[in-house]
Structure formats: structure tokens, C-alpha cells
């Protein structure tokens, strides 16, 4: 039975999830997280994708990505997944699949939904009980989006940019979004 075609719309943000095979870990050290992010920055640039938000959990990854072309998202995830899996297999003397099948993605439509997706992604470590505040987790985009740290990976989505006129106001406005938890209905809607 052929695979169902993935719907990708150029210029629209997509919530992407990729899980470790059998929900097993895919990150084993700080160096693994760093190299994944370095390659994500490189691969996003080469495939024409803008990364707006991300979180690297122990056994899965969430991304908010806008592809320039309909094929850009698949190209990004193929390059990223293959390169990182090959690195892990070589580095840890293992074989087989690191990832559980293909990545999953869903188009995010509407300003409110885009900002909710930012929050959903960056609150993942809080919901998992790993940290109390998203800024305490080093492997997410919260420090870029909420605190202004620059690493060159995160590209602000127009909805984020429209929150306020200045960078300082935007950062304050963004942080204020995290003062209230996401409601369960929104969380269920965003779970891919």
C-alpha cells in the first residue's frame, strides 16, 4: 500500500514532530543536542526553510517551520534525519533506524494558532516535568523567542513580529504569553 502524500503548503508554518524509534532516546549527550542544532541551522538554510520554534526532547523533536517551496520541508527533514542518524549510529556503534518512521507535520493556520504552537513547543519540557520554566531548558527556542538570545537558527514568524513594534516590547509580550497555561483543548489540538 503506497504512503499517503503529505500535504505541505509553501509559505505556511508547519508543526513538525519526529519521534525516536519505539520512543527510544535519540539524544544521549549535550554534544548530540548541539550537533543536531548546528545541522538544523545549516540544513534549514540550504533547503529554504525558516525555523520559528523548536524543542529537542530526549526521544523526540518538535519544530515550527515555514518552507519556501512545497518540497522544502521534506528536503529539510530528509537531510536532517539521515545525517543525524548516521552520526549517532557511527558515534555509538549502533545500527538500525533511529527515527520512528517518517516525520509528522500539520499546517498551522491563523495568528492565534501560530502563537499557540510556539508555546506548545517551548512548554514541552515543562509539561514533561523536566523544568519549571521554559527558559530553564537549554534545547528549545524559548531563549531566542522570549529572551532575545541569538544563535542564527530561529527566524521570527510574521505573527511573532506583529506582537509589538520594538524587539524589547516583543520579548515582553512573548514572555507574558507564558504566564497562563495552554488550555487542554489547545494542547489536544496541537498534539500531532
CATH code: domain of residue 153: 3.30.70.1290
Q: What is the pLDDT of residue 53?
A: 98
* 85 CB-side CA count, 13 A: 18
Q: Which three cell numbers stand for residue 96?
A: 538500525
Q: What is the pLDDT of residue 3?
A: 54
Domain assignment present for residue 6? The answer is no
Domain assignment present for residue 2? The answer is no
Domain assignment present for residue 8? The answer is no
Q: What is the pLDDT of residue 4?
A: 56
Q: What is the 3-state secondary structure (H, E, C) of the chain?
A: CCCCCCCCCCCCCEEEEEEEHHHCCCCCCHHHHHHHHHHHHHHHHHHCEEEEEEEECCCEEEEEEEECCCCHHHHHHHHHHHHHHHHHHHHCCCCCCCECCCCEEEECCCHHHHHHHHHHHHCHHHHCCCCCCHHHCCCECHHHHHHCCCCCCECCCHHHHCCCCCHHHHHHHHHHHCCCCCCHHHHHHHCC
Per residue in 113-165, pLDDT (tens digit) is 999 999 999 999 999 999 999 999 999 999 999 999 988 999 999 999 999 99
If we measure between CA atoms, which residue out of 87, 33, 93 comes closest to residue 60? Answer: 33
pTM attached to this predicted model: 0.94
Q: What is the pLDDT of residue 192?
A: 53
* Residue whose C-alpha cell is 505541505: 8
Q: What is the pLDDT of residue 169?
A: 97
Which residue range forms the structural domain that includes residue 179? Answer: 14-190
* Residue whose C-alpha cell is 545525517: 83
Domain assignment present for residue 7? The answer is no
Q: What is the pLDDT of residue 182?
A: 84
Domain assignment present for residue 95? The answer is yes
Domain count across the chain: 1
Q: What is the pLDDT of residue 190?
A: 80
Domain assignment present for residue 3? The answer is no
Domain assignment present for residue 104? The answer is yes
Q: What is the pLDDT of residue 1?
A: 46
Domain assignment present for residue 146? The answer is yes
8 phi/psi in degrees, rounded to 5: -130, 130
Q: What is the pLDDT of residue 111?
A: 82
Q: Pick out the chain residues at pLDDT < 50.
A: 1-2
Amino acid at each position: 500500500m503506497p504512503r499517503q502524500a503529505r500535504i505541505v503548503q509553501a509559505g505556511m508554518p508547519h508543526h513538525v514532530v519526529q519521534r525516536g524509534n519505539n520512543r527510544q532516546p535519540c539524544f544521549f549527550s549535550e554534544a548530540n543536542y548541539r550537533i543536531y542544532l548546528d545541522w538544523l541551522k545549516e540544513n534549514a538554510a540550504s533547503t529554504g526553510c525558516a525555523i520559528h520554534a523548536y524543542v529537542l526532547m530526549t526521544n523526540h523533536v518538535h519544530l515550527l517551520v515555514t518552507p519556501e517551496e512545497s518540497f522544502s520541508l521534506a528536503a529539510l527533514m530528509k537531510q536532517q534525519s539521515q545525517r543525524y542518524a548516521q552520526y549517532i549510529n557511527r558515534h555509538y556503534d549502533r545500527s538500525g533506524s533511529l527515527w520512528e518512521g517518517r516525520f509528522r507535520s500539520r499546517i498551522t493556520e491563523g495568528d492565534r494558532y501560530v502563537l499557540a504552537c510556539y508555546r506548545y513547543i517551548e512548554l514541552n519540557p515543562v509539561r514533561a516535568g523536566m523544568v519549571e520554566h521554559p527558559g530553564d531548558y537549554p534545547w528549545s527556542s524559548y531563549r531566542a523567542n522570549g529572551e532575545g538570545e541569538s544563535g542564527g537558527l530561529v527566524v521570527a514568524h510574521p505573527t511573532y513580529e506583529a506582537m509589538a513594534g520594538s524587539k524589547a516590547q516583543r520579548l515582553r509580550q512573548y514572555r507574558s504569553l507564558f504566564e497562563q497555561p495552554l488550555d487542554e483543548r489547545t494542547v489536544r489540538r496541537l498534539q500531532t
